[in-house]
Chain A
């Protein structure tokens, strides 16, 4: 489990917490990490947290967190949970999938 990357945020309920599940040296995973960083920098206007989880070193997490397809990006907060699968190359789909409120994103 890697430490959070990105802008540090205050511990409020409004904070956007994202977690990306990846598989080690899988090219799609590497691309997804890069895409996520770009996406956040470009579209997110409010504070957010990003956590990267490498399943190859902790496979039981995949079972615990119900991960099937990789890479998977999960919006942990605000509830409810949202999931986006893929290498996150399609940023429109990421915005749609994460169901980000208009206030936190500067999309389109």
Chain B
């Protein structure tokens, strides 16, 4: 089924993402059918193919407009940043406007479309066109009688265009249950692209799907796409292989002691960092530290905020001593604040992908990551997860450091992330708050951090007006107590203290006792020695007195 790509030359569309899906663009010197309902972006797709071809690949194009006038087209495409007038002046583009006024038309006998052929041939020759768009050819069926003749002429036209070696896009409206209203797909067998525009979960999203591509492999998914002031862009594609380069460079988290906990140096560049925790545990504050630290290094940060506005974030960060305004002014930081429900979930990711590309960000903060998941239904969870994976994959491929926060709902286990993306995360920091005797104590722990020896301690931290302060593990104990707990703690400490004192006193007593014992023993030993010495002396004295009597004894009686 899949032939080597060399067997088929492809014409690059220059449409962001599309050439990746199709492995290089549309089939060269063949026709491609773009079909979809009204307002799907068919005309835009076709026009962008011509504009990019003319500006990026040096291939002039002819646009045959069956629906709109030249003036209308020029006006409409200004909003997506295409200056058609200039392209036409430079002979890179030729628009042939075909007016079909069926009410003034009668048929009297056999006819053909030689007029159209001649116009097209003339247009192609005039600018040396390599690309041709027929938008929307099907209008002929509505305007001209005798569909049988039209069908014959149509296949003749496509053959004729093929012989001329031009790459053709035909657009067509989707019919009821069929791809196109007049069955155009029967004539175009090389490549069929379907555009849809459908509401899912009450939010409308555009999707693109390559239905057919003869002689080439292609992505078969439905790809959400976006139309903005730069034309069409299609969501990034999931990378199949893990080929991204792993950087050894370390980045500061912006919090002094947190870097110490992360092997003493902080995160790896290009890694994915997840900070999860329940509400109010300081996730955004940590993100603020990371942002400020990155900006201080002169790196660009793109901050996606889904819960707060940009000014709210800057104000709140100021309250903990992080001033983001200079970075915003220097264009090192951009805060992209939208509501998760503003567009479709997948569209969000498409938008984000585009924003990252446009801003050429080195660091991306998403706060919070799971706001998508919350706004979706259960059946969409898989979809959301897949898209998030694509996003994270994309960041990794680009070597962009990703910093995500995730809100854990109260009931769930603390190390449970709704979107189950933990396998994609390199460093996972868990924040928690313990409510004890009227005071919430914030704690920070590192669940995992790939590729570094990290602390396994859970450290308490404070949110001060100078930012996040991690407390020394030793000093943690009674620092943050109040009320009865403080009294209890003090009592406990006092008791502890006196116990210690007693213990010392006891030990001193013991020692004293031991000394006394030792001295007593010494005395005893000395006394014993004295006794023995005296005894020996006595014996010696006795010996000195008796030698004569002893000597006399052998010569004595017996």
Measured CB to CB, the residues of A under 8 A from B are 21, 23, 26, 28, 31-32, 35, 55-56, 59-60, 62-63, 66-73, 80-91, 93-94, 96-97
Question: B97-124, CB under 8 A of A: which get 1 and which 0?
Answer: 0111100111111111111101101110
- Measured CB to CB, the closest approach of chain A to B103, in angstroms, equals 10
* CB pair B114 A70 closer than 8 Å: yes
- Measured CB to CB, the closest approach of chain A to B113, in angstroms, equals 6
**Closest residue to A23 on the B side, CB-wise?**
B114
- Measured CB to CB, the closest approach of chain A to B102, in angstroms, equals 10
* CB pair A23 B115 closer than 8 Å: yes
A23 to B105, CA, bound (A): 19
* CB pair B106 A70 closer than 8 Å: no
> Which B14-60 residues sit within 8 Å CB-CB of chain A?
none
- Measured CB to CB, the closest approach of chain A to B128, in angstroms, equals 16
**Closest residue to A60 on the B side, CB-wise?**
B122
* CB pair B118 A56 closer than 8 Å: yes
Which B residues lie within 8 Å of A28 (CB)?
109-112
A66 and B98 contact, Cβ closer than 8 Å, known pairs A59-B121, A82-B104, A96-B106: yes
Which A residues lie within 8 Å of B101 (CB)?
83
* CB pair A55 B114 closer than 8 Å: yes
Measured CB to CB, the residues of B under 8 A from A are 96, 98-101, 104-116, 118-119, 121-123, 140, 144
What are 16 contact pairs spanning A and B, CB under 8 A?
A59-B119, A59-B122, A66-B99, A67-B115, A68-B140, A69-B115, A72-B111, A72-B115, A82-B106, A85-B105, A85-B108, A85-B111, A87-B108, A88-B108, A89-B110, A90-B109
Which B residues lie within 8 Å of A90 (CB)?
107-109
Which B residues lie within 8 Å of A62 (CB)?
115-116, 118-119, 122
**Closest residue to B116 on the A side, CB-wise?**
A68
A69 and B112 contact, Cβ closer than 8 Å, known pairs A83-B104, A85-B105, A93-B107: yes
* CB pair B104 A81 closer than 8 Å: yes
- Measured CB to CB, the closest approach of chain B to A76, in angstroms, equals 13
* CB pair A97 B106 closer than 8 Å: yes
* CB pair A93 B108 closer than 8 Å: yes
A68 and B113 contact, Cβ closer than 8 Å, known pairs A60-B122, A62-B118, A63-B122: yes
A69 and B113 contact, Cβ closer than 8 Å, known pairs A55-B118, A62-B119: yes
Q: Is the interface of A mostly helix, strand, loop or mixed?
A: mixed
A20 to B499, CA, bound (A): 120
**Closest residue to B123 on the A side, CB-wise?**
A63
The 8 Å CB contact of A86, one of B98, B99, B111, B121, is B111
A85 and B113 contact, Cβ closer than 8 Å, known pairs A59-B122, A62-B119: no
* CB pair B105 A87 closer than 8 Å: no
Nearest 8 pairs of A and B residues by beta carbon: A97-B106, A86-B109, A59-B122, A93-B108, A89-B109, A87-B109, A67-B115, A59-B118
A89 and B108 contact, Cβ closer than 8 Å, known pairs A66-B99, A68-B100: yes
* CB pair B110 A87 closer than 8 Å: yes
* CB pair B112 A83 closer than 8 Å: no
* CB pair B104 A70 closer than 8 Å: no
**Closest residue to B117 on the A side, CB-wise?**
A23
A97 and B108 contact, Cβ closer than 8 Å, known pairs A66-B98, A68-B98, A69-B113: yes
* CB pair B115 A21 closer than 8 Å: yes
A83 and B96 contact, Cβ closer than 8 Å, known pairs A55-B114, A69-B113, A70-B115: no
**Closest residue to A94 on the B side, CB-wise?**
B108
A67 to B119, CA, bound (A): 9
* CB pair B104 A85 closer than 8 Å: no
A64 to B195, CA, bound (A): 33
A81 to B103, CA, bound (A): 11
A88 to B24, CA, bound (A): 49
Which A residues lie within 8 Å of B140 (CB)?
68
5 more CB-based (< 8 A) A-B contacts, given A59-B122, A84-B105, A97-B107: A59-B121, A62-B115, A68-B98, A70-B114, A73-B108
**Closest residue to B98 on the A side, CB-wise?**
A68
Interface centre among A56, A71, A94, A96 (most CB of B within 10 A): A71
Which B residues lie within 8 Å of A73 (CB)?
108
A70 and B111 contact, Cβ closer than 8 Å, known pairs A55-B118, A60-B122, A63-B96: yes
**Closest residue to B118 on the A side, CB-wise?**
A59
